Amino acid sequence: MGILARQTLLNTVLTYAGIVLGFVNVVLLYPKVLQADQFGLTRLLVSITVVAAQLSQLGVENTVLRFFPYFKDDQRKHRGLLSMLVLFGTAASLLCMLALAALHPWLSDVFNDRNSLYAQYGLLVLPLVLGEVFFILLRSFSRSLRRTVQPTFIREFMLRAMQTILILVQAWAMMPFHVFMLLYTALFLIGTLALVWDLYRSGNFALGWSERWLPTRLRKSMVTYSTFTFSATLAGIILGNMDQLMIGALLGDGLRQVAYYSVAFYFGSVIAAPGRALSQGALPLIAEAWKRDDHVYIADLYRRSSLVQFLVSGFLFLVMWSSVGDLFELLPSEYAPAAEVAIIIGSAYLMTSSIGLSVGIISMSRSYRLDAISSMAMLLVNLVADYFLIRVYGIIGAAYATLLALLVVNGYRTWFLYRRYGLWPFELRTVGILGLIVTLGIMVPWIPLTGLAMYDLFLRFLLLTVLFWPVAFLFGTMPELKGVMSQFSKRLK
């Protein structure tokens, strides 16, 4: 198995290990150890951090991936690219921190709750933004070097494992909440430092300041690309986080509602995990394929990725759909009304998984401007829908807003790739998988089991495994799972 195939496999394993830890944290620990508004505060701070960091980095993350082949030169320390990233990250994060500090009184009013938690702890977003900006930039550099496993391990597994330890300590020792929040913030900074250490240990943290190389023509191309991909990346990141920000701002007792929505959104967003794992290794290959103008390879990868993502995401959706009642029985009863959110978000991401790597294919192509325009359209649709639907339907409205935005824009992206490049992600087996999902989705929830949530979760998972995968095998989809990794390996060789 080639390097990239191994990395794709490891990224998948780490992503799902992170999902398990996330389940432990979000479902079994945080809601029971912290009060709902305290848990909501941690989610809100992370959402603000993610949005602010994406605003600050101005699309540089994807730009590094797209243009790294032009900088790649071990002898010349990749022409000083890392030093330019560090300089840019320092300036960007400092400006963002100053802006957030100036806006703190206003944000305290917007996210005001009965305990004034944001007013007390909102400034913790400043070190969080600092760590996040540098993590994003260093992650792009690491992924460009084909070191995709390390950032995934740090963000998907290590960070969540540290959070598990912290919340267990909190459950045992009952630290004052301000101490807990300081330690919670420190975990994100530790993650960024771990990525710095990994690059240093591997000999890749070489600034190469004297080797800086950025000719005018390339600079103009990078600025243009960054400008357009910035809006695309921002829209994708904001999509889930904006719901939480709007809920916190529009609903009474907003932090508690953010907590309910965050748990339900976590259940639904698990469906997107296969796509995240696959895209981490695929984006550099797509960029190189566009450079070679290899449409045959891109078309094959597009079709395979669509089938694989829809297959795995479909199975995860069935597990969540059939067990959502049991999942929410594990939570305090006040979280129960959010179950519908999990179903809606899960449906949105199942639909997104069916179009495979379409977003990455567009963003790495010469049509990257379309990605930016469509992403901003998605953001606008989500924003407007959030504003009206949250006021009428509460957190359920936020979920429907996300579903609407993804459905409209991803439908357009799929049509564009077909019209412009003749790329189409679907085939007959896709219809077969959809039929299998619908059939089992109708049958399995009605099968009576023990009535005990933990036992039924396990039993339904086993039942779906027995019913789903043999039929998927008969559809001839198993070779595709192996084929995607094999294709990556052959291209690398």
Q: How confident is the model at residue 493 (pLDDT cuts 50, 70, 90)?
A: very low
The mean per-residue pLDDT over the stretch 380-399 comes to 91
159 or 269, higher pLDDT: 159
Residues 317-346 pLDDT 10s? 999 999 888 888 888 888 888 899 999 999
Range with the lowest mean pLDDT among 268-282, 376-390, 419-433? 268-282
Structure tokens that stand for 368 in this block: 């990257």
Q: How confident is the model at residue 19 (pLDDT cuts 50, 70, 90)?
A: confident
Range with the lowest mean pLDDT among 107-116, 301-310, 478-487? 478-487
| Predicted pLDDT at 2 | 47
| Predicted pLDDT at 329 | 87
Residue with tokens 């957030």: 100
Structure tokens that stand for 103 in this block: 């806006």
Task: Tell me the C-alpha distance between 371 and 413, whole Å.
Answer: 8
- What average pLDDT is seen over the chain? 82
pLDDT at 189 over 80: yes
Q: How confident is the model at residue 88 (pLDDT cuts 50, 70, 90)?
A: confident
| Predicted pLDDT at 125 | 94
| Predicted pLDDT at 96 | 92
| Predicted pLDDT at 288 | 79
Residues 22-69 pLDDT 10s? 888 887 888 889 988 888 899 889 888 988 888 887 777 777 777 666
- Three-state SS string over the chain comes to CCHHHHHHHHHHHHHHHHHHHHHHHHHHHHHHHCCHHHHHHHHHHHHHHHHHHHHHHCCHHHHHHHHHHHHCCHHHHHHHHHHHHHHHHHHHHHHHHHHHHHHHHHHHHHCCCCCCHHHHHHHHHHHHHHHHHHHHHHHHHHHHCCCCHHHHHHHHHHHHHHHHHHHHHHHHHCCCHHHHHHHHHHHHHHHHHHHHHHHHHCCCCCCCHHHCCCCHHHHHHHHHHHHHHHHHHHHHHHHHHHHHHHHHHHCCCHHHHHHHHHHHHHHHHHHHHHHHHHHHHHHHHHHHHHHHCCHHHHHHHHHHHHHHHHHHHHHHHHHHHHHHHHHHHCCCHHHHHHHHHHHHHHHHHHHHHCCCCHHHHHHCCCCHHHHHHHHHHHHHHHHHHHHHHHHHHCHHHHHHHHHHHHHHHHHHHHHHHHHHHCCCCCCHHHHHHHHHHHHHHHHHHHCCCCCCHHHHHHHHHHHHHHHHHHHHHHCCCHHHHHHHHHHHHHHHC
Q: How confident is the model at residue 216 (pLDDT cuts 50, 70, 90)?
A: low
Range with the lowest mean pLDDT among 11-15, 341-345, 347-351, 364-368? 11-15
Q: How confident is the model at residue 283 (pLDDT cuts 50, 70, 90)?
A: confident
Task: Tell me the C-alpha distance between 75 and 139, whole Å.
Answer: 21
Burial class for 167, CB neighbours closer than 10 Å (0-12, 13-18, 19+): buried
65 or 132, higher pLDDT: 132
Would you say 492 and 2 are in contact if contact means Cβ atoms under 8 Å apart?
yes
Burial class for 479, CB neighbours closer than 10 Å (0-12, 13-18, 19+): exposed
- pLDDT > 70 in the chain, percent: 84
pTM, two decimals, is: 0.75
- pLDDT > 90 in the chain, percent: 25
Residues 432-490 pLDDT 10s? 999 999 999 999 888 888 888 888 888 999 999 999 988 888 777 666 655 555 544 44
Domain ranges of the chain: 3-492
| Predicted pLDDT at 434 | 92
